[in-house]
Homo-oligomer: A and B are copies of this chain.
Amino acid sequence: MSSSVSPLAPTEIPEMPAIAGVRLATAAAGIRYKGRTDVLLAVMDKGTTAAGVFTKSKCPSAPVEWCRAKLRNGGSKGSPARALVVNSGNANAFTGKTGRQATALTASIAAKAVGCKPDEVYLASTGVIGEPLDATKFNGVLGTLAESAAPADWMDAARAIMTTDTFPKVATATVKLGKTKVTINGMAKGAGMIMPDMATMLSFVFTDAPLSSSVLQALLKSGVEDTFNALTIDSDTSTSDTLLAFATGTAAADGAPKITRAGDPRLKAFTKAFHALLADLAEQVARDGEGARKLVEVVVEGATTKTSARRIAMSIANSPLVKTAIAGEDANWGRVVMAVGKAGEPANRDKLSISFNGIRVAKSGARDPSYNEAEVSEAMKAPKIQIKVSLGLGKARDRVLTCDLTKEYVAINGDYRS
20 A-B residue pairings within 8 Å (CB atoms): A55-B341, A56-B344, A58-B341, A93-B334, A94-B349, A94-B362, A129-B335, A130-B366, A195-B342, A235-B318, A235-B320, A236-B320, A236-B339, A238-B338, A239-B337, A324-B409, A325-B417, A334-B417, A407-B410, A410-B410
Given contacts A330-B417, A405-B410, A410-B406, A349 and B130 within 8 Å (CB-CB)? no
Known: A96-B350, A325-B413, A330-B414. 4 other contacts (CB 8 A): A59-B340, A94-B362, A237-B341, A334-B417
The CA-CA distance from A58 to B311 in the complex, in Å, is 13
CB-CB under 8 A from A415, the residues of chain B are 328
A239/B325 in contact, CB under 8 A: no
B407/A328 in contact, CB under 8 A: no
A57/B236 in contact, CB under 8 A: no
- Range, interface on chain A: 35 or more
Q: Is A193 an interface residue (CB 8 A)?
A: yes
Q: Which of A94, A236, A333, A417 has the most CB of B within 10 A?
A: A94
CB-CB under 8 A from A367, the residues of chain B are 95, 130-132
Copies in the complex: 2
B366/A57 in contact, CB under 8 A: no
The CA-CA distance from A320 to B194 in the complex, in Å, is 11
A130/B362 in contact, CB under 8 A: yes
Q: Is A234 an interface residue (CB 8 A)?
A: yes
A338/B413 in contact, CB under 8 A: no
Within 8 Å by CB of A93, from B325, B337, B344, B406, lies B337
A347/B96 in contact, CB under 8 A: no
CB-CB under 8 A from A93, the residues of chain B are 334, 337
> Which residues of A are in contact with B by a Cβ distance under 8 Å?
55-60, 91, 93-99, 128-132, 192-193, 195, 234-239, 318-321, 324-325, 327-328, 330, 332-335, 337-347, 349-350, 352, 362, 364-367, 405-407, 409-411, 413-415, 417
Given contacts A236-B320, A414-B330, A129 and B96 within 8 Å (CB-CB)? no
- Sorted nearest first, the 8 A-B pairs with minimum C-beta distance are A129-B334, A328-B414, A96-B366, A59-B341, A57-B341, A324-B413, A237-B342, A407-B407
Given contacts A58-B343, A60-B341, A417-B330, A321 and B234 within 8 Å (CB-CB)? yes
The CA-CA distance from A415 to B327 in the complex, in Å, is 9
Distance in Å from the Cβ of A390 to the closest Cβ of chain B?
Answer: 14
Q: Which of A235, A410, A411 has the most CB of B within 10 A?
A: A410
Within 8 Å by CB of A59, from B235, B321, B347, lies B347
B58/A340 in contact, CB under 8 A: yes
Distance in Å from the Cβ of A344 to the closest Cβ of chain B?
Answer: 7
The CA-CA distance from A328 to B410 in the complex, in Å, is 9
Q: Which residue of B lies closest to A65 (CB)?
A: B349
Distance in Å from the Cβ of A320 to the closest Cβ of chain B?
Answer: 4
The CA-CA distance from A239 to B93 in the complex, in Å, is 39
Q: Which of A99, A237, A238, A342 has the most CB of B within 10 A?
A: A342
CB-CB under 8 A from A321, the residues of chain B are 192-193, 234, 236, 413
Q: Which residue of B lies closest to A291 (CB)?
A: B410
Q: Which residue of B lies closest to A367 (CB)?
A: B130
B327/A414 in contact, CB under 8 A: yes
B97/A366 in contact, CB under 8 A: yes
CB-CB under 8 A from A60, the residues of chain B are 341, 349
The CA-CA distance from A406 to B344 in the complex, in Å, is 28
B59/A239 in contact, CB under 8 A: no
